[in-house]
Amino acid sequence: MSKVTVQEVFGQFAVEIAGAVKLYASEAEATKVAVLAEKEQEFYEEGVAFAASLGFNIDDEKTGKTAKGKANVVIAYLAWVEGGKPEAPEPEAKEESKDDDF
């Protein structure tokens, strides 16, 4: 697969995958998506192998859901590491609602 790049466009970050361009609010999120696009199969295989090492078979009716959850965490972690361990964006401050007074 060819290299997927992240470009800043009008304050957002664009990633082109398979001819479709998607915009993301943060560079960290766009980088994660780009890395996943490049290494998706490799990360998937590692995630499934990790879940199997814990006794969870991704194809098993009883443990499959747990295996998929564990594999997804490994996939996200590997993408984060491969993406340079970007920091999480600062959460937006929420305004307090006056209706919350009980």
84 burial (CB, 10 Å; 0-12 / 13-18 / 19+) is exposed
pLDDT digits (tens, 9 = 90+) for 2-34: 577 888 998 999 998 878 899 999 888 888 888
Average pLDDT value for residue range 81-98 = 74
Residues forming a β-bridge with 23: 14
Q: What is the pLDDT of residue 97?
A: 61
Q: What is the pLDDT of residue 2?
A: 58
What pTM did the predictor assign? 0.58
pLDDT digits (tens, 9 = 90+) for 23-74: 999 888 888 888 888 888 788 889 999 999 999 998 998 989 999 999 999 9
